Structure 1
Amino acid sequence: MKRTLILLFPLLSAGLLSSAQVRYAGTTVDLVVSGTSTLHDWNMKSVKADCSGVFTLNSAGQITSVEDLVFSTPATALKSEHTSMDNNAYKALKTEKNPLITFTVSSVSITPAKGSASTVTCKGKLNLAGSTRDEQVVALCQPNADNTITVTGIEKISMKDFNIDPPTFMLGTIKTGNDITLSFTLLLKRS
């Protein structure tokens, strides 16, 4: 019996080590918010964010679970090429009372993708301009050889769903569209 346990120990250890939970975090993001207006399409970009979560990877390097995932970015980190546009956007986002845009994940489903990548569908609470709504974000998560994870995705949201009046310019002669697109790339490192 003792000999059998000694022989099984390496197998049990290998099984436990091949799917360990590891906390990952990232502080930089390539986030682009884009939309339309009666004059031209527009973009605002941010490279500041805080994101962390606990990821479990199997022995093949694929993500099998994600827990405690949270994301935040300062609303005023979003910048366009025009200061006046930024100021109108910050006013619409109510940044004085709501300085952060946050997403807190409540449930995750994972589907294997090409190679070691996984499609991760996150449902959670998105807080934008002081309004919180249940939203779904789908991202492609690619574990890398250097023990990082690259997270990319594109989501569309409606400003009015968050009680945001689409900004206007030049006394209302230029109006922005209601729908915006969020595109993001985030690099997560073991923390």
Structure 2
Amino acid sequence: MHNHTQPRPMFIWRTIFWMTFLLIPFALSSQTYKLSGSEGEVMVTGTSTLHDWEEIAEKKSGSIGLDVSGELPKITTLKFAVESESLKSGKSGMDKNTYKALDSDKHKEIVYQMTSVKSISKASSANTYKVIATGNLTIAGHTNKVDLPFNLTVNGSKVTLDGKYGMKMTSFGIEPPKALMGTIKTGDEIEIHYTTIWK
């Protein structure tokens, strides 16, 4: 009498092995990159009745999830935050007015959280892609849905996001700051310029 049950454990192990082997590429294909706080730059530029101005964000954080297994990368997650009171212009009076306008005592961070990718396409240089990401931008406690355009460059363990986004302060319920008893007025239109490094 032959015993046919003997090879069964071997068959089970072989099945587990192949299932694991086939699933590994999917597990490895999506990677999370953390924003480097010490590299890159996030700058806000604007105008006033006296002169143009700029502020640089000294504290920023975030993470991006990327799946680079296909022809075009897939952005699975993207979150980006700047500490409101880390915006510095080099002029303490202007900084104070900025923090007041941002209501930074209550709202410590400016946050962008992606909800979907509107479009992604290859750019002219290698490993670079043009992206428009839809997400929620929260400034001074006011959230708007925005389309954020940027170039995404994937280089091994390093990812670069760079672009610029123009907006009106009043669209976030922010009254453009004034100085010197209201004689110097800031323009409503500002631009956020960013070159960020993620690892």
TM range (shorter): 0.7 to 0.9
Match of 1:117 in 2: 128
Question: What are structure 1's unaligned runs of at least 5 residues?
Answer: 1-8
Tell me the CA shift for residue 69 of structure 1.
1.1
Whole-angstrom CA distance in 2 between matches of 1:73 and 1:107: 21
Task: Single out whichever of 90-99 and 114-123 deviates more from structure 2.
Answer: 114-123
Aligned-partner SS, 1:95:
coil
Percent identity of equivalent pairs: 31
- Specify which of 144, 148, 154 is matched with residue 137 of structure 1: 148
Scaled by the length of structure 1, the TM-score of the pair is: 0.86
Question: What are structure 2's unaligned runs of at least 5 residues?
Answer: 1-17
Whole-angstrom CA distance in 2 between matches of 1:120 and 1:25: 19
Greater C-alpha Rg: 2
Aligned-partner SS, 1:178:
strand
1:77-156 paired onto structure 2 within 5 Å = 77-108=86-117, 109-114=119-124, 115-145=126-156, 147-156=157-166
Match of 1:6 in 2: none
Q: Does the Cα contact within 8 Å between 1:126 and 1:132 map onto a contact in 2?
A: yes
Scaled by the length of structure 2, the TM-score of the pair is: 0.82
Tell me the CA shift for residue 136 of structure 1.
1.1
Match of 2:11 in 1: none
Whole-angstrom CA distance in 2 between matches of 1:34 and 1:185: 14
Tell me the CA shift for residue 63 of structure 1.
4.8
Aligned-partner SS, 1:172:
coil
Runs (4+) off by over 4 Å: none
- Specify which of 64, 76, 79 is matched with residue 85 of structure 2: 76
